[in-house]
Amino acid sequence: DVKVTQSSRYLVKRTGEKVFLECVQDMDHENMFWYRQDPGLGLRLIYFSYDVKMKEKGDIPEGYSVSREKKERFSLILESASTNQTSMYLCASSSYRRSSGNTIYFGEGSWLTVV
Amino acid sequence: AQTVTQSQPEMSVQEAETVTLSCTYDTSESDYYLFWYKQPPSRQMILVIRQEAYKQQNATENRFSVNFQKAAKSFSLKISDSQLGDAAMYFCAYRSADAGGTSYGKLTFGQGTILTVHP
């Protein structure tokens, strides 16, 4: 089974702190994603990466950056956390190969509260 | 840009009965994938069923089936013989199959439908 692991399930940070959310996948997937989930808004894409050191902005990249130095790891960075970034963050990965079925696999999510 | 709309914020069903969740989408592409994901209270996103747009046959997975109407851009999920464990938030999602575009691989989600199952 594909496993996508997010390092922290629950975090509480102060306004202005730098926050790192880490994600690791064990299936050699090329694509990795960070989504944010808020009530009534569904899941919105923050950033995605289609290869090591490659990244593309999603729908709501403002206030976030990402890092992908190794294929299996994709980090989401909040340079200066703000209260409006309190949310649930979901990491996901997938292969780009059509033979894989194009399924995207998700981690368990990280609840971030900024106070 | 693609959009996905789930017009039912909440649905409920009696145990053992059938319920249908609605989803519509908008795209100019002809080759794409559609998914239904289930998110229980644990928040783990679980793939329920997937449909490839170029396949006319509706996908089925045990008690779960879809009604895919490509021309109408409609993709509904039918849950038969509902069980208490089916209670969750359900998301409809779209993914382009275009390997050359920068949108490739990105899942676009609907707003979600909360399904309650009554014993």
Neighbour count for residue B64 (Cβ, 10 Å): 16
Residue type, B21: L
pLDDT (tens digit per residue) in A13-33: 999 999 999 999 998 888 899
pLDDT at res. A99: 63
Q: What is the Rg, in whole angstroms, of the alpha carbon atoms belonging to chain B?
A: 14
The two structure tokens encoding residue A76: 């989401």
Partner residue opposite A101 with nearest CB, options B44, B50, B109: B50
Average pLDDT value for chain B:
91
Please name the residue of chain A whose CA is at the shortest distance from the CA of residue B96: A102
The two structure tokens encoding residue B34: 């559609």
Partner residue opposite A48 with nearest CB, options B9, B44, B105: B105
pLDDT (tens digit per residue) in B22-80: 999 999 888 889 999 999 988 889 999 999 998 889 999 999 999 999 999 999 999 99
Q: B-chain residues within 8 Å CB-CB of A101?
A: 50
pLDDT at res. A98: 63
Q: B-chain residues within 8 Å CB-CB of A92?
A: 45, 107
- Inspect the interface and report whether the beta carbons of A98 and B97 lie closer than 8 Å: yes
Residue type, B115: L
Partner residue opposite A106 with nearest CB, options B45, B102, B108: B45
Q: Are strands A10-13 and A110-114 parallel, antiparallel or unpaired?
A: parallel
- In angstroms, what CA-CA distances link B88 with A30, B12, B18, B50, B84? 30, 11, 15, 18, 9
Cβ atoms of B45 and B37 within 8 Å: the answer is yes
pLDDT at res. A42: 86
Distance CA B76, CA A49 (A): 30
No. of H helices and E strands in chain A? Answer: 0, 12
Chains A and B: how many Cβ contacts under 8 Å? 58
Q: What are phi and psi of B117, to 5 degrees?
A: -115, 120
Distance CA A35, CA A90 (A): 5
Q: A-chain residues within 8 Å CB-CB of B100?
A: none
Distance CA B37, CA B44 (A): 10
pLDDT (tens digit per residue) in A34-74: 999 998 888 999 999 988 999 999 989 999 999 999 999 99
The candidate with the shortest Cα–Cα distance to A93, out of B33, B3, B105, is: B105
pLDDT at res. B7: 95
Percentage of residues of chain B with pLDDT beyond 90: 74
